[in-house]
Each structure stands twice: as structure tokens, then as C-alpha cells.
């Protein structure tokens, strides 16, 4: 099911590789502290609002680093694959994971699965959902508690 793109965004061709690289620069101190390794596939050009796409990557990568396992350095890989008329992006980490029963709850505003031991507002994934939907895509989770998480989102191909 395709969602309609909201017109409040200025959708232009965007080099996703550049947006991703800029996001890594913006997060460099967050990445350096736990000695994280973040890699990605070669990414496509998509029609998007570059600021919102950057915020999407920043929120997803920040979550991967925030919910890491304390006994190993974080590893995150962003993959992308074309499926029909969409690009499917996946952000996979080796963190603490999420119980699948909470898969839809975590995209709602102010919904947190962890108490105050991990700081946050519970808005990051709700913002991600809103961004992706405004760009005509969907976002979802594939995870198991203790086995890392994979956040996937689709964006229309140009």
C-alpha cells in the first residue's frame, strides 16, 4: 500500500550517500565514544527532503548506538535493495534488540521500552515514522530481544 506524499516537503533528487556521510560526521563523537563501526552499501538517489532524510538517518543510527550491548562495540550496517518501485533501506545493529511484541508500539510518540536507565524522550522513532510516511514510504522493525535490531523503511524510487 503506497501512502500519498505530503506536499509540505520540497522533494528533490537527493544523494543518499552524501546525506549518510554528513550524518556520520554529525554523530562522530557519539560514534567514537563506544568505538562503533558503521558501514553502508552504496545508496541510491531518491526524491526526498534532504534535511528530513538526514534526521531519519540520525535518529536510527543514534538509537543503534544508544541501545548497544555493554559487552561489545556497536556495529551498524545500512543496506539498501530495490524491490519493484521502492527502495528498501535496512539499518541493522548488534545491540540489545527489541522483543517483537513491541514492534508497533515503539513507533508511537512517548513510548519507551526502557526506564530511566537509558535516556530519551520516546519521540525518535515516532519522528522517523512520520518522515518516512510523508515521503511515501513505510517503516517497520525486525528484531529479537538480545539479538540486535533491524529497522527497515521503504522510499519510492524516482
Which residue ranges form the domains of the chain, and what is each CATH number?
Answer: 12-156 (3.30.565.10)
Confidence of residue 37 (pLDDT cuts 50, 70, 90): very high
Mean pLDDT value of segment 28-52: 94
Stronger pLDDT, 90 or 112, i.e. the higher one: 90
Calpha distance 39→50 (Å, rounded): 20
Residue 2 has pLDDT above 80, yes or no: no
The pLDDT score that the predictor gives to residue 65 is 92
* pTM attached to this predicted model: 0.86
Is the pLDDT reported for residue 118 higher than 90?
A: no
Place 108 in a pLDDT band, splitting at 50, 70 and 90. Answer: confident
pLDDT tops 80 at residue 154:
yes
Mean pLDDT confidence for 3-11: 60
Residue pair 156/47 in contact by the 8 Å Cβ criterion: yes
Q: Which residue has the higher pLDDT, 158 or 80?
A: 80
Cβ contact 64:76 at 8 Å: yes
- For residue 29, is pLDDT > 80? yes
In percent, the amount of the chain with pLDDT more than 90 equals 63
For the cut 60, the answer to whether the pLDDT of residue 147 exceeds it is yes
Q: For residue 46, is pLDDT > 80?
A: yes
Cα 134 to Cα 3, 93, 121, 131: the distances in Å are 8, 25, 22, 5
Amino acid at each position: 500500500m503506497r501512502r500519498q506524499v505530503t506536499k509540505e516537503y520540497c522533494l528533490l533528487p537527493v544523494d543518499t550517500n552524501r546525506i549518510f556521510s554528513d550524518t556520520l560526521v554529525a554523530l562522530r563523537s557519539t560514534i567514537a565514544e563506544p568505538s562503533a563501526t558503521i558501514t553502508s552499501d552504496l545508496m541510491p538517489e531518491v526524491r526526498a527532503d534532504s534535511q528530513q532524510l538526514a534526521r531519519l538517518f540520525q535518529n536510527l543510527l543514534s538509537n543503534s548506538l544508544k541501545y548497544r550491548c555493554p559487552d561489545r562495540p556497536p556495529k551498524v550496517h545500512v543496506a539498501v535493495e530495490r524491490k519493484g518501485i521502492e527502495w528498501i533501506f535496512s539499518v541493522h545493529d548488534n545491540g540489545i534488540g527489541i522483543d517483537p511484541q513491541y514492534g508497533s508500539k515503539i513507533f508511537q510518540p512517548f513510548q519507551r521500552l526502557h526506564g530511566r536507565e537509558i535516556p530519551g524522550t520516546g519521540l525518535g522513532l515516532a519522528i522517523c515514522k512520520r518522515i518516512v510516511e510523508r515521503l511515501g514510504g513505510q517503516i517497520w522493525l525486525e528484531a529479537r530481544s538480545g539479538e540486535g535490531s533491524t529497522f527497515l523503511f521503504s522510499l519510492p524510487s524516482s
